[in-house]
A = this chain, B = another copy of it.
Amino acid sequence: MRQIKIGLIGFGTIGSAVYNGLKKNGSILSSNLGAKVVLKSLCDKDRSVFKRHKINKKLIKNNAYEIINDPSIDIIIELIGGIKPAKDFIIQSLKNKKYVITANKALLSDDKKEIFKVARDNGVAVFFEASVLAGVPVIKVLCESLIANSIKSIKGIINGTSNYILSSMHEKGISFKAALKEAQDKGYAERNYSLDVDGHDSAHKLAILSSLAFSCDIKPKDIYVEGISNISNHDVMFAKELGYCIKLLAVARSYKDSVEVRVQPVLLPKKHMLSNVNEAYNAVYFKADLAQDIFLYGQGAGGSSTCSGVLSDVAEAVDCILAKSPLNAHQADVFSGPKKKIRQVSEVESSYYVRFMAVDAPGVLAKISGILAKHKVSISSVMQKARNRVKAVPIIMLTHQVKDVDLNKAIKEIGRQKIIMSRSVVIKMEKEG
């Protein structure tokens, strides 16, 4: 049985999980592949981690280039994350004609076009299943199962931390702060949680998914991003009462000559599959012209799931090595498609959830409705809540499809009225499809 040798760069949570997974299930992988997968070398700038995991000293190298420049190694797994020095490691590995596996979403979301060109120029390939949703195979499904489809839209809950927070707020009625504290206590949120709750982690992943789906190079900076830290538990509970969940959704939709790419909190009907994605689970919903609906769900993060994704990439790389050909070579070209126009969020018509805090006096509803009507904003339902011991009462309205610019004008004019006690809340309602 042929031996395929692997070098592993980075031995943090993910790196050590891949090491352990390979130790546990390496024989399953090898027997399924018809080739023996052997971990030959590993390295990490923090050498104390090796003692903790009782790693055989023979495997440990002093620096990454000892691995990258070892001619006997066939596959490099990069798991250090970040741009520097990960990008240099990957580029040099490809130039050394090694297949590369990475889970580095930050790097790929920006530099994918350049990296895939180097891979193609050197007759090898980069695999990156674990860069989006870890072991949940969104990349494989999109690139291989949907290969003959025109992708209409992608909708995903692709950040576990913010989903845990919003789920807790929905289930227990607690505030964002309390839910964040809970997520931190349970290990679902890091101390530095901002990349998660402000939507930028989702944007990194959406940049990769949407670029693959629409064969172009969409970068995080092209994506409209809005986080969840301003979502109030009152709105979560009002939405719930109306039959909706508030979820941080990553959305990419294709139009004739443009694409829409955004990450923002939205209202989803309770019956939608994505509304049933709770706690730290992740999911992606594809709409495609032939396959129609394809929904994928799973952990989407953590060492074990990421290990599964990385090892599925090892299998792909081994297939290529055995076939002496970088299969799915088309991947190299996918990001080189013609640049797509990015449609601004304000150009897209939508329905909205709107909450006004108004004085509890006669004529208030008439006043608000009048201003909305003037700006062509029509209302599909209204809920007025009586509150004890406060002067302001919440008035919740769901609008029909409306132009962003019209709604904004209306909200501004209403905000100037004396009857309005505090800033109005506007949350997009996600439409079907």
Interface residues of A, Cβ cutoff 8 Å to B:
21-22, 24-26, 28-29, 31-34, 129, 135-137, 140-141, 144-150, 271, 273, 276, 281, 288-299, 304-305, 307-309, 311-312, 314-316, 319, 322-325, 327-330, 333-334
Beta-carbon contact of B137 and A311 below 8 Å:
no
Q: What would 8 more interface pairs be, CB under 8 Å, given A149-B308, A273-B297, A295-B298?
A: A25-B148, A25-B149, A26-B148, A33-B330, A148-B311, A290-B305, A292-B298, A323-B323
Q: Are A291 and B135 in touch, CB under 8 angstroms?
A: yes
* Contact (Cβ within 8 A) B308 A148: yes
Taking CB atoms, residues of chain B closer than 8 Å to A281 are 293
Q: Which of B22, B141, B292, B305 contacts A305 (CB 8 A)?
A: B292
Question: For the complex, what is the distance from the CA of A325 to the CA of B314, rounded to whole Å?
Answer: 18
Chain B residues with CB below 8 A from A314, complex form: 148
A279 to chain B, nearest CB (A): 11
A316 CA to B328 CA, complexed, in Å: 9
Question: Chain B residue with minimal CB distance to A277?
Answer: B273
Asked if B296 and A148 make an inter-chain contact with CB atoms under 8 angstroms apart, the answer reads no
- Chain B residue nearest in CB terms to A294: B298
In the assembled complex, the CB of A428 is this many whole angstroms from the nearest CB of chain B, namely 23
Q: A34-B329, A319-B327 are in contact. Are A146 and B308 (CB under 8 A)?
A: yes
What residues of B have a CB within 8 angstroms of the CB of A334 in the complex?
32
Q: Which residue of B lies closest to A314 (CB)?
A: B148
Using Cβ atoms and an 8 Å threshold, which residues of chain B touch A28?
147-150
Rank and list the top 7 A-B pairs by shortest CB-CB distance, nearest first: A148-B311, A137-B145, A291-B308, A135-B291, A290-B308, A323-B323, A295-B297
The residue that A147 contacts in the complex, of B145, B315, B333, with Cβ under 8 A, is B315
CB distance from A261 to the nearest CB of B (A): 20
Q: Contact: A299 with B290, CB < 8 Å? A: no
Enumerate chain B residues within 8 angstroms of A290, measured Cβ to Cβ.
21, 24-25, 135, 304-305, 307-308, 311
On whether the beta carbons of A293 and B298 are closer than 8 Å, the reply is yes
Assuming A294-B296, A315-B147, is B304 touching A32 (CB within 8 A)? Answer: no
Complex Cα spacing A28 to B290, Å: 12
Q: Which residues of B contact A327 (CB under 8 A)?
A: 319, 322-323, 327
Give A275 Cβ to nearest chain B Cβ, in Å.
9
A324 to B319 alpha-carbon distance, docked (Å): 12
CB–CB B294/A135 < 8 A: yes
Contacts of A325 in B (CB 8 A): 322-323, 325
Contact between B312 and A146, CB atoms less than 8 A apart: yes
- Bound-state CA distance A29–B34 (Å) is 29
